[in-house]
Structure 1
Amino acid sequence: MRADYLFTSESVSEGHPDKVSDQISDAIVDLFLSKDPQARVACETLTTTQKVVIAGEIRGEGIMDTEGNWAPGVEQEIEDTVRGVVRDIGYEQDGFHWKTLDFQNNLHPQSAHIAQGVDAGESKDEGAGDQGIMFGFACDETPDLMPATLYYSHKILERMAADRHSGKAPFLEPDTKSQVTLRFRDGKPAAATAIVVSTQHAPGYDEGAKEAELHNYVKGVIADVIPRELLTNETVYHINPTGSFEIGGPDGDAGLTGRKIIVDTYGGAAPHGGGAFSGKDPTKVDRSAAYVTRYLAKNVVAAGLARRCTIQIAYAIGVSQPLSLYVDTHGTGTVADEKLEAAIAKVAADRLGGLTPRGIREGLSLNKPIYRKTAAYGHFGRTASGDDFPWEKTDLVDALKAAAA
Structure 2
Amino acid sequence: MFEKVNPAHPDKVADRIAGALVDLAYEKESDPRIAVEVLIGHGTCHIIAETSVSISPDEAAVIVSRITGSLAVDYCEVPQDQHLSDNQKNGIRCGDNGIFKGVPVTDEQKVLSRIARDLYEKYGCDGKYIIDEARLIICQSNAASDDIAASYPTAEINPLGDWTGGTDVDSGATNRKLGSDMADSVTGGGLHGKDLSKADVSVNIYAWLKAQEAGQPVTLCCAIGDESVDGIPYIDIVETARNYIRDIGGFEKFAEWGLV
How many angstroms does 1:120 deviate by?
4.1
On the 8 A contact 1:26/1:279 being kept in 2, the answer is yes
| 2:163 alignment counterpart | 245
On the 8 A contact 1:130/1:316 being kept in 2, the answer is yes
Q: Aligned letter for 2:101?
A: F
2:111 is aligned with 1:129: no
| 1:115 alignment counterpart | 85
| 1:228 alignment counterpart | none
TM-score in terms of structure 1 length: 0.60
| 1:35 alignment counterpart | 28
On the 8 A contact 1:278/1:375 being kept in 2, the answer is yes
Query: Within 2, Cα distance between the matches of 1:221 and 1:283?
Result: 43
2:229 is aligned with 1:263: no
| 2:62 alignment counterpart | 80
Q: Aligned letter for 2:72?
A: D
2:7 is aligned with 1:14: yes
Please give the per-residue CA displacement for 1:176-227, whole angstroms capped at 9, x wherever unaligned.
1111113xxxxxxxxxx3110112226xxxxxxxxxxx2332234447xxxx
Extract structure 1 runs of 4+ deviating beyond 6 A: none
Aligned length: 257
1:55 counterpart (48, 54, 67): 48
Partner secondary structure for residue 245 of structure 1? coil
Query: Within 2, Cα distance between the matches of 1:78 and 1:215?
Result: 37
On the 8 A contact 2:46/2:73 being kept in 1, the answer is yes
2:256 is aligned with 1:372: no
In 2 relative to 1, CA 163–272 (structure 1 residues): closer, same or farther, beyond 3 Å? closer
Partner secondary structure for residue 132 of structure 2? strand
Query: Within 2, Cα distance between the matches of 1:154 and 1:148?
Result: 10
Q: Aligned letter for 1:275?
A: G
On the 8 A contact 2:39/2:45 being kept in 1, the answer is yes
2:124 is aligned with 1:194: no
Query: Within 2, Cα distance between the matches of 1:292 and 1:34?
Result: 23
Q: Aligned letter for 2:173?
A: L
| 1:295 alignment counterpart | 209
Query: Within 1, Cα distance between the matches of 2:129 and 2:155?
Result: 11
| 2:117 alignment counterpart | 158
How many angstroms does 1:363 deviate by?
4.0
How many angstroms does 1:273 deviate by?
2.2
In 2 relative to 1, CA 194–107 (structure 1 residues): closer, same or farther, beyond 3 Å? same
In 2 relative to 1, CA 13–271 (structure 1 residues): closer, same or farther, beyond 3 Å? closer
| 1:311 alignment counterpart | 218
Please, which runs of 5 or more residues in structure 1 have no aligned partner? 1-7, 65-69, 87-97, 139-145, 166-173, 183-192, 203-213, 224-235, 302-308, 326-344, 346-353, 381-405
Query: Within 2, Cα distance between the matches of 1:310 and 1:252?
Result: 37
Q: Aligned letter for 2:207?
A: T
Q: Aligned letter for 2:48?
A: A
Query: Within 1, Cα distance between the matches of 2:170 and 2:145?
Result: 24
Q: Aligned letter for 1:79?
A: A
Query: Within 2, Cα distance between the matches of 1:107 and 1:160?
Result: 37
In 2 relative to 1, CA 14–271 (structure 1 residues): closer, same or farther, beyond 3 Å? closer
| 1:4 alignment counterpart | none
Q: Aligned letter for 1:51?
A: T
How many angstroms does 1:158 deviate by?
1.3
% same residue? 25
Query: Within 2, Cα distance between the matches of 1:290 and 1:376?
Result: 16
Please, which runs of 5 or more residues in structure 2 have no aligned partner? none
On the 8 A contact 2:145/2:162 being kept in 1, the answer is no
2:239 is aligned with 1:359: no
Please give the per-residue CA displacement for 1:227-250, whole angstroms capped at 9, x wherever unaligned.
xxxxxxxxx52101112423x222
Please give the per-residue CA displacement for 1:244-293, whole angstroms capped at 9, x wherever unaligned.
423x2221111110111111102xxx353211101011110011001111
| 2:146 alignment counterpart | 216
In 2 relative to 1, CA 13–221 (structure 1 residues): closer, same or farther, beyond 3 Å? farther
Please give the per-residue CA displacement for 1:10-60, whole angstroms capped at 9, x wherever unaligned.
111111111111111111111111221211110010011011111130113
Q: Aligned letter for 1:201?
A: N
TM-score in terms of structure 2 length: 0.91
Query: Within 2, Cα distance between the matches of 1:376 and 1:154?
Result: 12
Partner secondary structure for residue 107 of structure 1? strand
Structure with bigger gyration radius: 1
Q: Aligned letter for 1:108?
A: V
